[in-house]
Structure 1
């Protein structure tokens, strides 16, 4: 048995367009963008959503959105999603990158949010 929840929605933005996209999303959502010092490819938009993190990610690829799912057992969550039809694309650091049926990317990672929030909102899987 393990638990998981949607942790974040990422606005993947070509690296050369991140500054303009950051200005746009910050103004559009009425929040102050905050670069993450330890992970410079991410720019957080705190306060834009309730309980789910919203951030921009600089990528060397086409613009898109993707979902991050956090789990107290990322390997079990990976297996569950693969059994549902997702395909493992690659691993990057502690992240498992998958492609869902329909072609959308998603990532499975260890719990990143506040433990109390995770405990209150995560779904339990057998």
Structure 2
């Protein structure tokens, strides 16, 4: 058995538009835009969606939204989503990037939340 939960909503914007997108979403949602010094492709929108990390991500692709799933077993969660019809399209660090039916992307990554948040909100899967 393993556990997982939706951890983040990412607003993907092409590199050339990412700064403008971050400024727009910051103003539209009424939250500060904060650059991530460790991962400069991300600009956090802290407090935008209660209980979820929300950020603008600069990408080399078309604009879109995607979800990040955090899990205590990346391989098991990836296998679960693949069995539901997703396909793996890439890997980045410990993250698995999947395309799900309908064409959207999701990422599966190790737990990032504080343990008490993950324990309270994660679902258990066989």
Q: Normalised by the shorter chain, which TM-score bucket?
A: over 0.9
Q: Secondary structure at the match of 2:6?
A: strand
Residue 25 (structure 1) aligns with: 25
In the alignment, structure 1 residue 10 sits paired with structure 2 residue 10: yes
Structure 1 regions of 5+ residues with no counterpart?
A: none
How far 1:125 moved relative to its partner?
A: 0.3
Q: Secondary structure at the match of 2:75?
A: helix
How far 1:114 moved relative to its partner?
A: 1.3
CA RMSD of aligned residues (A): 0.6
> Which structure 2 residues correspond to residues 23-102 of structure 1 after superposition, within 5 A?
23-102=23-102
Structure 1 distance, partners of 2:34, 2:115, is: 22
Q: Secondary structure at the match of 1:113?
A: coil
Q: Deviations over 1:97-119 (max 9, x none)?
A: 00001111000000011111111
When the two structures are aligned, how many residues end up with a matched partner?
126
Structure 2 distance, partners of 1:56, 1:23, is: 10
How far 1:8 moved relative to its partner?
A: 0.3
Q: Secondary structure at the match of 2:88?
A: strand
In the alignment, structure 1 residue 103 sits paired with structure 2 residue 103: yes
Structure 2 regions of 5+ residues with no counterpart?
A: none
Q: Secondary structure at the match of 1:108?
A: strand
Structure 1 distance, partners of 2:61, 2:99, is: 15
Runs ≥4 in structure 1, deviation > 4 angstroms? none
Structure 2 distance, partners of 1:122, 1:38, is: 26
Q: Secondary structure at the match of 1:47?
A: coil
Structure 2 distance, partners of 1:63, 1:28, is: 17
TM, length-normalised to structure 2: 0.98
